[in-house]
Structures are given as structure tokens and as C-alpha cells.
């Protein structure tokens, strides 16, 4: 049995680099053995520091990996840089009777925690494998919420027709293996130059009501005043609160400028930026009166019939067509989105959809992003298999994310893979599990989703071919009364 271990701290200015007295990876010992984690305070600040000890265990020849995360907290005081040591396991030295009982108690708690985590992982794994035998067609409309969360293997009876009907999509040829990688990473000097091109004075931006707010991110309904003729344009304005760090401000600027210079009816570009206060930059975008697409879909799902938009299948397909058109344009501009989802689209009351950048999405939709121990919040349940396992992004990975986005459209904003732990997503996808067909979703649309989720990137359909299919399907829907 192999293991790897890593120690993470959230405030490095107060706590220095942790030290382990065992290798960070190797084979588990055959006998019970303790290890120590040294936690040296820097003495520069007085802080409560969160410590996470992450242990990954895997058996050779088996794909399953067990993840254990042990959370501790250490208090560091200013001008006191002494080391602190945590004993993980039975201590070989007993200083006193009281410390003996403390050590035994800590060891007992650790054993209970590890046993509970291992048991939970096993139960989840077994439940996941049982789900694929469930037939979603037995669910009644009252069970729509639970049905939408089921995930199925491609080779289960539910999906047998999908596999057999792949031949009906033979006109959707696979992607070129030479799909472009992400090329829109701006260097600091380029970013500064592009910001200077659209920088405006603060007096030209008027903020109205706050539309969304997270821990450090905020989106306002605003107005941009034209400098020449005093014309006013309704806008979205993205900014940060007092709690935002320098890194979060830099990330807002970088992600907000990714689509600078784009010009397409289904892409929302940044049109202005105000840097008068560098701690509170204002990013300005054209206004869409129904706002965020994910929130719009959820309003449609929860509102009483007649009090909000009643979306027909043809409406949802029309919105999917617009997203496909926007993605075709971005790929022609050599821009890989990397985070395509309904939360990164906006819509108006005529159901016009535009793709946006992902600036502030991690904060405003925190439940959609997860960290797998690498200090990087990622949209785990929207990522293609190769993006999740190897951080490879391409046209094909955007196609996978579009499949999940299409599933969001057909479920009116449900959370995908809601029952799956983020740490289990990679193994589940490798085992062939996928989202099940939503209630009232036409078979052909679901077949198209499953094609977007083919493991081999080169075998997924291109956005151009998806556009041809959607146009034909949209026209066919118009023939029915």
C-alpha cells in the first residue's frame, strides 16, 4: 500500500514551512508507527493558523485512491518563533501521567477519524456503483430533483440506446488532435497596456443597486457615461470589497481582461475599466436585464407558473445554439474558455445569451468550485477528464464543459453530480459514470451530451458540427404544435 502526505497552512507569514520526520511518499509500514509534524512559527505575526494534513493512500494495481484530510489549528505569537510539534500516533516518550492520557486520547481520536473517513469512502463507492442499475424512467415528476442528480455508466441498460444510436451522429466528425491550447495568458506588461487602453475616470461610472455579492466580490447594475456626448449606457460593474487581497484583485483583472477586444453577439466583452483606486478596480460590461443565466434558470424552475418565463424545449435549444456560436467565435480567436457553465453566461428577457469571462465566479458561486489539495479552486464537476487529471485544456475540453452546460439548461440550473464528492470525480469519470438523462430531455439531446463526454478528446464532436445539429433539431421542434 502506497501513501503520500502533504502539510498545508493558510497563513505562511505566521507559520513557516512544516517539517515531517518521515518521507512525503512511500510504502505504509507493516507495523503501527508514529510520525511528527514540526510547525515552526515565524514570530512575525500573532495568528491562528489552520493546518491541513492530507494523506493519499492507494493499493498497487487498483485505481481507487483514499484521501484523508486531518485539520488542526495552531496559535502563533509575535516575537515567539519556537517550534510546535504534533505527534501523529503513539509517542515513544512519555513525560508524565497526564501527557500519557492526552497522547492516548489524541491517538484514539485519530484512529476513529481515519476509520470513519475510510468507511464513508467505501460506502460512497458502493452506492455509486449501485446507482447505475437504477432506471431513471421509473421516477415520477415529483422526483425530478433527485433524478437529476443520478449518474450512470455509459454501458448500463439506461444508456444502451445511446451507445447504439451513436451511428446517428456519424455526420459529427471528431475533433482534430491539433486543437489549440489556451493562448490567452497575458503577461503583466501586456495586461497593463490593455488596461490603459480602456481606462476611464471614476466620475464616468455610476453605481446603482448591488446584483450579487460574495465574500470579496460584488456585481452592480451601473451606468457608463460617454465622455464626448454625455450618452449613458446601462452596464454590469464587477469590483471587490474591503476583504479582497492583492492576489484576488490581480486575479479579477487577469480574468476580466481575457475577452478584451472580442466582438460577437454571443460574447460579453469588457468595455471599460477604472483604476483610480487600485484597491477597488471597476470592470465594466454591457448590461443584460435578466442577469446571470444560472440564477435566471433557477428562477424559472422555482417560480409559480405565469409569474416568470416558462421555458420550452425549443427556448432551451435556442439558448444552447447561441452558446455554441459564441464558443465557435472564441476558438477562432484562439481563446480557450476553460470554465464554460451557465454561471458564466448572461441573458436578457428576449432570451439572448452571451458568454462571459469567469472573473469573480469562484467567489459568487463558491459551491461550484473545489480545491483538491493543490490550493487551486477549480470547477471540478464541469471539467473534462484530461483537464481534471492532467490540467490539459483545449477545444475538446470546452466541448465537454458545454455538455454539462447543456445538462444545466435542460434541468433549469440543477447542480451536476451533486451526490459525488469532488475527490471522487476523477475515479468516477474514469469508471465511465456520467450524468443521467434529465426528465423531459429529448433522447437526441441526451445522446449529444454523452458524445461531449467521451473520454478520448479527439472523439468528441466539434462546435461547428454541434451547431449544424442544433439548427436542424431546433427547426424540427418548430414543426410540432
Q: Is residue 277 part of a domain?
A: yes
Specify the CATH number for the domain of residue 299: 1.10.510.10
Instruction: Report the C-alpha gap between 35 and 279 in whole angstroms.
Output: 44
24 lies in the same domain as 63: yes
Q: Is residue 136 part of a domain?
A: no
Find out whether 163 and 155 touch, Cβ atoms under 8 Å: yes
174 lies in the same domain as 222: no
Q: Is residue 105 part of a domain?
A: yes
Expressed as residue numbers, the domain containing 12 is 2-130
Tell which residue, 286, 257, 123, has the closest CA to residue 184: 257
Q: Is residue 192 part of a domain?
A: yes
Among 286, 307, 329, the domain-final residue is 286
Q: Is residue 325 part of a domain?
A: yes
172: Cβ contacts below 8 Å, ≥ 6 apart: 451, 461, 462, 465, 466, 468, 469
167 lies in the same domain as 240: no
Q: Is residue 137 part of a domain?
A: no
174 lies in the same domain as 246: no
Distances (CA, A) of 242 to 228, 239, 410: 33, 10, 38
Tell which residue, 340, 343, 357, has the closest CA to residue 256: 357
126 lies in the same domain as 147: no
pTM: 0.65
Instruction: Kindly give the confidence (pLDDT) of every residue in the chain, 481 residues in length, as a single tens digit, with 9 standing for 90 and above.
Output: 888 888 888 888 788 888 888 888 888 888 888 888 888 888 887 777 888 887 887 876 665 667 677 877 777 877 765 545 555 544 333 333 444 555 556 666 667 667 666 666 555 555 544 443 333 333 333 333 334 444 454 443 333 333 333 333 433 444 543 344 444 556 677 888 889 999 999 999 999 999 999 999 999 999 999 877 678 899 999 999 988 999 999 999 999 999 999 999 999 999 999 999 999 999 999 999 999 999 999 999 887 655 567 899 999 999 999 999 999 999 999 999 999 999 999 999 999 999 999 999 999 999 999 998 877 899 999 999 999 999 999 999 999 999 999 999 999 999 999 999 999 999 999 999 999 999 989 999 999 999 999 999 999 999 999 999 999 999 888 776 4
Q: Is residue 28 part of a domain?
A: yes
300 lies in the same domain as 414: yes
Specify the CATH number for the domain of residue 274: 3.30.200.20
Q: Is residue 162 part of a domain?
A: yes
244 lies in the same domain as 352: no
- In degrees rounded to 5, what are phi and psi of residue 59? -100, 135
163 lies in the same domain as 192: no
Residues in a beta bridge with 206: 223
120 lies in the same domain as 39: yes
DSSP, residue by residue, 259-311: TTT---TTB----EEE-SSTTS-EEEEE--TT-BHHHHHHHHHHSPTTSS---
Among 286, 301, 316, the domain-final residue is 286
Helix (H), strand (E) at residue 220: strand 217-225
365 lies in the same domain as 297: yes
Instruction: Report the C-alpha gap between 170 and 356 in whole angstroms.
Output: 32
Catalytic residues, by residue number, are: 339
Residue linked to cell 515567539: 80
Question: 400-421 pLDDT, tens per residue?
Answer: 999 999 999 999 999 999 999 9
Among 236, 252, 286, the domain-final residue is 286
369 lies in the same domain as 390: yes
98 lies in the same domain as 9: yes
**Number of compact structural domains in the chain:** 3
Amino acid at each position: 500500500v502506497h501513501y503520500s502526505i502533504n502539510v498545508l497552512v493558510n497563513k505562511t507569514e505566521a507559520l513557516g514551512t512544516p517539517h515531517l520526520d518521515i518521507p512525503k511518499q512511500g510504502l505504509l509500514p507493516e507495523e503501527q508507527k508514529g510520525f511528527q509534524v514540526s510547525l515552526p512559527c515565524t514570530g512575525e505575526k500573532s495568528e491562528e493558523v489552520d493546518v491541513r494534513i492530507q494523506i493519499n493512500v492507494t493499493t498497487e494495481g487498483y485505481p481507487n485512491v483514499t484521501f484523508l484530510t486531518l485539520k488542526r489549528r495552531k496559535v502563533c505569537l509575535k516575537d515567539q518563533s519556537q517550534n510546535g510539534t504534533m505527534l501523529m500516533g503513539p509517542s515513544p516518550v512519555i513525560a508524565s501521567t497526564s501527557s500519557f492520557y492526552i497522547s492516548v486520547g489524541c491517538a484514539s481520536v485519530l484512529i476513529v477519524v481515519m476509520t470513519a473517513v475510510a468507511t464513508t469512502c467505501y460506502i460512497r463507492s458502493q452506492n455509486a456503483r449501485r446507482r447505475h442499475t437504477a432506471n431513471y424512467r421509473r421516477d415520477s415528476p415529483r422526483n425530478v430533483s433527485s433524478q437529476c442528480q443520478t449518474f450512470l455508466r455509459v454501458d448500463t441498460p439506461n444508456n444502451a440506446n445511446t451507445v447504439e444510436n451513436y451511428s446517428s451522429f456519424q455526420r459529427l466528425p471528431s475533433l482534430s488532435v491539433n486543437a489549440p491550447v489556451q493562448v490567452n495568458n497575458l503577461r503583466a506588461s501586456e495586461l497593463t497596456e490593455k488596461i490603459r487602453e480602456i481606462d476611464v475616470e471614476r466620475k464616468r461610472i455610476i453605481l446603482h443597486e448591488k446584483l450579487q455579492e460574495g465574500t470579496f466580490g460584488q456585481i452592480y447594475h451601473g451606468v457608463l457615461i460617454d465622455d464626448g456626448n454625455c450618452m449613458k449606457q446601462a452596464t454590469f460593474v464587477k469590483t471587490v470589497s474591503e476583504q479582497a487581497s492583492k492576489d484576488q484583485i490581480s486575479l479579477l483583472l487577469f480574468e476580466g481582461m481575457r475577452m478584451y477586444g472580442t466582438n460577437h453577439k454571443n460574447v460579453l466583452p469588457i468595455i471599460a475599466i477604472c483604476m483610480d483606486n487600485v484597491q477597488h478596480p471597476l470592470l465594466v460590461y454591457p448590461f443584460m436585464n435578466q442577469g446571470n443565466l444560472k440564477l435566471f434558470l433557477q428562477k424559472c424552475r422555482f417560480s409559480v407558473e405565469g409569474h416568470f418565463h416558462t421555458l420550452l424545449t425549443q427556448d432551451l435549444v435556442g439558448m444552447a445554439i447561441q452558446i455554441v456560436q459564441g464558443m465557435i467565435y472564441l476558438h477562432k480567436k484562439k481563446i480557450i474558455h476553460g470554465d464554460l457553465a451557465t454561471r458564466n453566461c448572461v441573458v436578457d428577457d428576449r432570451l439572448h445569451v452571451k458568454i462571459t469571462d469567469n472573473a469573480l465566479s469562484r467567489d459568487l458561486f463558491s459551491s461550484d468550485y473545489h480545491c483538491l489539495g493543490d490550493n487551486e479552486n477549480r470547477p471540478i464537476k464541469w471539467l473534462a477528464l484530461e483537464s481534471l487529471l492532467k490540467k490539459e485544456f483545449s477545444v475538446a475540453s470546452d466541448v465537454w464543459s458545454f455538455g454539462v452546460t447543456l445538462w444545466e439548461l435542460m434541468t433549469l440550473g440543477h447542480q451536476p453530480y451533486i451526490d459525488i464528492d469532488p475527490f471522487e470525480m476523477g475515479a468516477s469519470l474514469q469508471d465511465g459514470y456520467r450524468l443521467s438523462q434529465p426528465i423531459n430531455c429529448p433522447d437526441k439531446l441526451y445522446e449529444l451530451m454523452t458524445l461531449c463526454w467521451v473520454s478520448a478528446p479527439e472523439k468528441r464532436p466539434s462546435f461547428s458540427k454541434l451547431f449544424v445539429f442544433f439548427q436542424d433539431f431546433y427547426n424540427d421542434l418548430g414543426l410540432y404544435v
